[in-house]
Structure 1
Amino acid sequence: FLHSETHLRGNSALIHLICIGFSLFIGLLSRPGSSLFSWHPFLMTLAFSFLMTEAILVFSPHGSPLKRFPHKVKGGVHWILQCLSVSCAVLGLAAISYNKFLNGKAHFTSWHGLLGLLTVCVVVLQSLAAVPLIYQTLAKGWSLAKLKRYHAASGLVSYLLGSVSLLLGLRSAWFTASVREHTWYLSALCPALSALVIMNQVTRAYVAKKRLQS
């Protein structure tokens, strides 16, 4: 992934396609509604691969579909997408928890389960911590610039946790039994590439701000 303007625009466009395509693929594979379990992979992929990715790309200077809109509009869309992402993540966790309860199976016994639980908890807390950015009267003693830096950093951590959770989910018995080997590797590339582009976007924005302030 090169860093010229053309390549950065290309990277962002590619990630838009990847997050949509990957989410549709998991949706077709899981067939949400066919069973209680089917909602888990579908909702988690929708939360972390599509909604959260698009929520962050809203602020991309190279690939935002709202590039020409004011920052306030982008912030509003980001907030809506992020709320939908958190809702899907919580519902996805509830679906697999209740499914295991009905089948008498132990939960959170694998790295995927443990990291998934941690990821959902972090995402919920990170979203609640962002409330002062909307209602600035709550940010007593904190500068808006510092809050935004912390929000960007914690948001990146949340996104990377979500990406790793998705990758671990691809190692589950359900997914490995549903796809062929080459499809597995192509699927694993989707959250991996998305994480690289999002990490590059957030870190470049942070470095650019630091340079302007220095």
Structure 2
Amino acid sequence: MVYNKETGSEPRIYGCTRTASALLSHCICIGFTVFIALLSRPGTSWFSWHPFFMTLAFSFFMTEAILLFSPHGSPLKRFSHKTKGRVHGILQGLCASCAVLGLAAIYYNKHLNGKAHFTSWHGVLGLLTVCVVGLQSLAAVPLIYHSLAKGWSLAKLKRYHAATGMVTYLLGSASLLLGLSSAWFTGSVGEYTWYLSALCSALNALVIMSQVSSAYTAKKRLMS
């Protein structure tokens, strides 16, 4: 399809597609989190807090934190970039807190049952992801207090933060997908529900990847 400067047909279609994708991602992260909450019934056991907190962290808080900067589907679209940044920081803080609580819950549950820790790919990747989330949160401090990063421009810090943030999100998505293959989840849902859950996680990851890559492609075009 050739871009028409007079009608702007391609940008309009492009914008509608992006808006639909962002809205779908909002619905997925809310719906999937509620579904896991109902399935795990947090509070019924120590283990029940693990899938609840981890899904809340990576499927809801982190997804919404990144979607705040979406030009097509941000719930704070009319607010300033500074305000979005503050809300982003709050959501990321909640994400990190929930991730630590989820890790603590599964660690204590295994301790009570005398089971070995971090023996599966899901456990190892989950631990790695929580550590990376903590490092990503600490690395974001110079974005707020720029004087801490002498010799680094704010634009460069933002680029690195966005790139590492996308990697962190993909780690979280991969950890969630491995969690869907656990004995608990596969034993709690049917085959079609499993595939639908996996599709939800994959779609969210694709939307976030597309948003971040498109943002920096647009910036390169403006600079060229």
Alignment equivalent of 2:78, drawn from 65, 68, 74: 68
Match of 2:168 in 1: 158
Equivalent pairs, count: 213
Q: 1:80 and 1:210 mapped to 2: Cα distance?
A: 29
Q: Does 1:209 align with 2:219?
A: yes
The within-5 A match list for 1:26-41 is 26-41=36-51
1:113: how far off? Answer: 0.3
Q: Structure 1 length as normaliser, TM-score?
A: 0.98
**Which structure has the larger Rg over C-alpha atoms?**
2
Secondary structure, aligned partner of 2:26: helix
Q: 1:98 and 1:105 mapped to 2: Cα distance?
A: 10
Q: Structure 2 length as normaliser, TM-score?
A: 0.94
Q: Does 1:97 align with 2:107?
A: yes
Q: 1:206 and 1:6 mapped to 2: Cα distance?
A: 20
Q: 1:190 and 1:138 mapped to 2: Cα distance?
A: 39
Match of 2:159 in 1: 149
- List 4+ stretches of structure 1 deviating above 4 A: none
Deviations 1:187-210 (A, max 9, x none): 111110000000000000011111
Alignment RMSD, CA only? Answer: 1.0
Secondary structure, aligned partner of 2:57: helix
Deviations 1:170-192 (A, max 9, x none): 00000000000000000111110
Match of 1:88 in 2: 98
Match of 2:183 in 1: 173
- Give the counterpart letter for 2:145 in structure 1: Y
1:137: how far off? Answer: 1.2
- Give the counterpart letter for 1:4 in structure 2: Y
Q: Structure 1: 5+ residue runs without aligned partners?
A: none
Q: Percent identity?
A: 77
Q: Structure 2: 5+ residue runs without aligned partners?
A: 1-12
